[in-house]
A and B are shown apart, each in its own frame.
Chain A
Amino acid sequence: MKRSQRGVWPYLFLTPAIVLFTLFLAVPIGYTVYLAMRRTKVSGLGLGRGARREVFVGFDNFAAALADAELWSGWLRVLGYGALVLVVMLGLALLFALLLDSARVRLARFSRIAIFLPYAVPGVAATLLWGFLYLPSLSPIRDVLEVDFLGATTVTYSMANVAVWGGVGFNMLVLYTTLRAIPRDLYEAARLDGASELQIALRVKIPILTPAIILTTVFSIIATIQVFTEPTTLRPLTNTISSTWSPLMKVYRDAFVTGDLYSAAATSIVIAAISLVLSFGFLRVVRNRAFMEG
């Protein structure tokens, strides 16, 4: 492409996005960093006017966040949970997308909307709903299956199930729409050569889908690191989930329950940094194929 005469246009087209980014992401993030370096200091009883001031504490909050053992065990829990969710959710999403795209399947429209439907259910409602299904005395599943869904070890699987249920439709749709964008004549040749649907899926479709799969993986990694709604909503129903089960729950607890906005800010920056490292690490491993584009 020549760029001479169209110099400013791409920048103009990107202006709204950049302005929004600056106002609603960059500035709040900057503010978060600012907050993370401060703390309130009270004196005496801490009651009444002037008893409380905000002071600058540098990197103290970050040091505290990094030294917090609870936070690190939270990371471990989330890592296990995340691995489970990623594999199952993306595996199913890919399977369903390929099935929907194959010529032979029946009731495709029904299945497509049915599988997407959970995405339309708000996370809190979805978890509440599964919570009802997990509770021993209310669950119709428990009538058949004698499992304690909210036990110390099972609760991770139960949460993963909620995440898979809610996320599979969205990822399926991303992959499916990408599949629909592939020109059909790419398959024609393979079909003429006598390849089966399965072979076409494995040899033609999946390679073409790879960049999209990588990207959905990256976004899913970030989403699972940020897991919050499922454990928070299930927590009142069971005594197996602590208030710091996931790192983001700790942020929420600090900011909203114990009123320590400053620690919350520091911890959230640590979370963002670790997300960055993990997702870039993943992209490194798969050699950055997702971002290479024509």
Chain B
Amino acid sequence: MRANRLGAALAVALTVTLASCGSSEPTESPEAAQTTAAAPQGPVKLTYWTWAPNMDKIVAVWNKANPDIQVTVSKQAGGDDAAAKFLTAAKAGNPPDLVQAEYQHLPSFIAADAVADLKAETASIKGEFTEGLWGLVTLGTESVYGIPQDSGPMMLFYRKDLFDKHGLKVPATWQEYGEAARQLRKKDPKAYLGTFSSKDPGSFTGLAQQAGAQWWSISGESWKVNIADEPTKKVADYWGGLVKEGVIDDMPYFTPEWNKALNDGKLLTWPSAIWAPGALATNAAKAEGKWAVAPLPQWNAGENFSGFWGGSSIAVSAKTPNRAAAAKFATWLNTDQAAIDLLVKEAAIYPAATKAQSALGEPPAYFANQPDFWQQAAAVSTGARGFTFGPNVGVTYNAFKDGFDKALQDGSPFSGAVQGMQDATVADMRKAGFTIAS
């Protein structure tokens, strides 16, 4: 019977597991061996984990044109869950060949030895991307661990109709933003200019990047961790002050309640990323045509800085026997003009490739009243600065959520929560044995 055979197999497997787990040598899994053996006969078969919408349609175009490299899309739940699942699959020895990797998760994938170095395969396409984006997939080293797919430069989305109604000026600096928040509270006590979300470390990271933060960096053979740096503390205390003053709300993003506030005009701005139109269109359908976009308020008048919230690269699994084929597909997907057009149209992403960004024409339907939407975006993009992410972003982001939750609850200073992020991150890296330069 099946169960008995399985039993014998499992018993054997357990012994093997116990015996082999000591070394980190990749044990050749039976499937991998089979695929290698089968490769010369039929077309190369690749699996691809992603959560971008309609990716099956885009891949279908590739499959039609490339009968020798057939890609199968498996649509996953996105975000942190996807990263955890990929790491588990890589540990177990059966990861997909290609995986969508958010920039902040890529270092964890690299540290787990789960993604391949594509230096040779990507030498020719380096110039297609800005240096900032390319740094996110190299971590500033000689290796290349993924190909950038989309990016999320941050901008300020605001309710134009309500700004006009209350006579508010679109804030050019964060100081003006605070002023506008106070004015609005006087004019409409039920509405807030914005909210600080303790659930979205990605958003806070982008705002810190705008201010010039460098949370991690690599110098020689050691990591530098500087999460509680001056720019980050400045950003934290700025928002902490506004929340404490009661002029900014503390409701988390992406909850049904937040959707309703956006719909009802109870929230007038959202410092968000270029992909915000998609989220707004679905969650605040009623307010279509009432939102407009402006550059993020600056810390000093006259500057043009922004940060990144979100964005992904496509990485190739370290264990795949078909690295060349996988790299070929990933290169096509993210640099071929026809593929990028499809990505923009079907998957509604903001492409990472520089020339594709400037080629965007029609504004998103939700922003039909703002014909220069993409020009604005391109202008913001040039001033967007990121930083290298560390190998344990999961720990840092978790510390963000717990720390800011607590700060909001007991009214303690936000910079304390930032220090908590720094401490948790360093403690975790030390425990694991990373070399940290102090």
State yes or no: do A and B touch (Cβ within 8 Å): yes
In A30-70, the 8 Å CB interface with B consists of 30-31, 34, 38, 40-54, 56
Q: In the complex, which residues of chain B have a beta carbon less than 8 angstroms from the beta carbon of A226?
A: none
Report the bound CA distance from A34 to B139 in whole Å.
34
Size of the chain B interface, CB-CB below 8 angstroms:
61
A294 on interface, CB distance cutoff 8 Å: no
Q: Whole-angstrom distance from the CB of A233 to the nearest CB of chain B?
A: 12
Whole-angstrom distance between the Cβ of A260 and the nearest chain B Cβ: 8
In the bound complex, what is the Cα–Cα distance between A241 and B285 (angstroms)? 30
Contact across chains for B17 and A31 when beta carbons are under 8 A apart? yes
From A17-25, A163-171, A198-206, give the one contacting chain B: A17-25
Which residues of chain B are near A239, meaning CB under 8 Å?
Answer: 198-199, 250, 252, 404-406, 408-409
With A54-B22, A237-B252 already in contact, the answer to whether A242 and B113 are too (CB < 8 A) is no
The A-B contact count (CB < 8 A) is: 134
Is A256 interfacial (CB 8 A cutoff)? yes
- Distance between A104 CB and nearest chain B CB, rounded to angstroms: 43
Q: Using a CB-CB cutoff of 8 Å, which residues 232-277 of chain A contact chain B?
A: 236-244, 253, 255-261
Query: Is A137 an interface position by the 8 A CB rule?
Result: yes
- Given A52-B112, A138-B260, A242-B406, decide whether A258 and B3 contact each other with a Cβ distance below 8 A: no
With A239-B404, A239-B408 as contacts: A48 and B250 at CB distance below 8 Å:
no
B168-176, B295-303, B393-401 - interface stretch: B393-401
B84: CB under 8 A from chain A? yes
B409 in contact with A51 (CB, 8 Å): no
Q: Which of B264-305 contact A (CB under 8 A)?
A: 264, 266
CB–CB B409/A45 < 8 A: no
B6, CB-defined interface residue at 8 Å: yes
Question: How far is B314's CA from A127's CA once the two chains are assembled, in angstroms?
Answer: 34
- Choose one: A40, A43, A52, A257; the contact of B435 (CB below 8 Å): A43
Residues from chain A with Cβ under 8 Å of B18 in the complex: 34
Task: Decide if A16 is an interface residue (CB 8 Å cutoff).
Answer: yes
- In the complex, B149 has a CB within 8 A of chain A: no
Chain B residues engaging chain A, CB cutoff 8 angstroms: 3-4, 6-7, 10, 14, 17-18, 21-24, 80-81, 84, 87, 91, 107-108, 110-113, 117, 139, 141, 143, 198-199, 218, 221-223, 250, 252, 254-257, 260-261, 264, 266, 391-392, 394-395, 397-398, 401-402, 404-406, 408-409, 428, 432-435
3 A-B pairs with the lowest CB-CB distances in the bound complex, closest first: A239-B405, A256-B84, A135-B257
Known: A54-B22, A259-B112. 19 other contacts (CB 8 A): A27-B10, A41-B432, A42-B111, A47-B111, A47-B391, A50-B24, A51-B113, A52-B24, A52-B111, A135-B255, A137-B260, A137-B266, A138-B260, A239-B199, A239-B406, A253-B398, A257-B398, A259-B87, A259-B392
* Residue ranges of A at the interface with B (Cβ–Cβ < 8 Å): 16, 19-20, 22-23, 27, 30-31, 34, 38, 40-54, 56, 131-132, 135-138, 152, 236-244, 253, 255-261
